[in-house]
Amino acid sequence: MTKLSVNVNKIATLRNSRGGDYPNVVKVSSDIESFGAEGITIHPRPDERHIRYQDAYDLKKIVTTEFNIEGNPIPKFMDMVLTIKPTQVTLVPDAIDAVTSNAGWDTIKHQSFLKEVISEFKSKGIRTSIFIDTNAKLIEAAATTGADRIELYTEDFATEYAKGNTQIIKPYTESAILAHKLGLGVNAGHDLSLDNIQFFAQNIPNLLEVSIGHALIAESLYLGLENVINMYKHKLKG
């Protein structure tokens, strides 16, 4: 069965908006695990606008499922990951000022760089995954870097599926089949949601893990609001 890793970046966004420690990222992550998620994902960005590097160290102490750290392997990120030794590091080629991830790796252009950083991570026993678009040549090049897995970048799938275009799944299915043949495990993420996850998972063979944050946290608000409003109304009863 495909593992669900919950990305808690948005919990940190909410916490940071008031400058305090509420909601507490460690407590929420622990709760998420106790509710059945099989992993916690974070994607610290260089400006630390949501997850801070300190969060990564704090989470390492309490995560009992799979800990996945995503990011661009700049020296500061590499040092942090090599110290923490999470279950998995997912390499994402983000620009320093990117609002969110918006492209996969060019594994041909950056092949030797990826080989180098992947061998460093693997020497510490950290599983490695490369965030990537559905392009056969790029997936073939990813297989030469020593990476254990790829993470299929699913924003295009999510956008097209929401418009009713179910054919958009084809390149993802083909990429997963190719990756599997090349010995790469397959993860996926970005804009996956309750609306599209079932169709996606049913059409991607050997899908090992999905990491979901933005939609999952928004859905938790929608699905939790009625309960919380009733609790407030109850407390306000005269």
Ligand X SMILES: CC(=O)[C@@H](O)[C@H](O)COP(=O)(O)O
Q: Indicate whether 214 belongs to the interface with ligand LD2JLWAY (CB under 6 A).
A: yes
CB 40 within 8 A of CB 68: yes
Give the CA dihedral 210, 211, 214, 220, nearest 10 degrees: 80
Stretch near ligand LD2JLWAY under the rule CB under 6 A, chosen from 45-53, 169-177, 186-194, 195-203: 186-194
Smallest distance, ligand X to C-beta of residue 235, A: 33
Closest to ligand X by CB, 102 or 230? 102
Q: What is the DSSP letter of 89?
A: E
Q: Indicate whether 216 belongs to the interface with ligand X (CB under 6 A).
A: no
Closest to ligand X by CB, 81 or 227? 81
Residues 6+ apart with CB under 8 A from 182: 139, 140, 143
Q: If DSSP codes are grouped into helix, strand and coil, which group holds residue 200?
A: helix
Binding mask 79-118 for ligand LD2JLWAY (x = CB under 6 A): ----------------------------------------
Of 41, 65, 107, 145, which one interacts with ligand LD2JLWAY (CB under 6 A)?
41
Q: Does 166 carry a binding-site annotation?
A: no
Q: Does 18 carry a binding-site annotation?
A: yes
Q: Indicate whether 93 belongs to the interface with ligand X (CB under 6 A).
A: no
Q: Does 234 carry a binding-site annotation?
A: no
Within the chain, residue ranges assigned H as helices are 9-18, 25-34, 53-62, 75-84, 111-123, 136-143, 155-162, 169-181, 197-203, 214-236
Q: Quick count: other Cβ atoms within 10 Å of Cβ 202?
A: 10
Please, which of residues 147-206 interact with ligand X by CB under 6 A? 189-190
State the binding partner of 215 from ligand LD2JLWAY, ligand X, none, CB within 5 to 8 A by kind. ligand LD2JLWAY
Q: Does 45 carry a binding-site annotation?
A: yes
CA 34 to chain centre: 19
Token pair 């090349």: residue: 182
CB 48 within 8 A of CB 9: no
Angstrom CA distances, 137 to 19, 81, 203, stand at: 45, 28, 21
Closest to ligand X by CB, 9 or 145? 9
d(CA 72, CA 77): 7
Smallest distance, ligand LD2JLWAY to C-beta of residue 13, A: 11
Binding site per annotation, positions for 1-deoxy-D-xylulose 5-phosphate:
45, 50, 100
Q: Which residues bind ligand LD2JLWAY (CB under 6 A)?
A: 7, 41, 43, 70, 151, 189-192, 211-215
Residue ranges binding ligand X (CB under 6 A): 7, 9, 43, 45, 70, 92, 100-101, 131, 189-190, 213
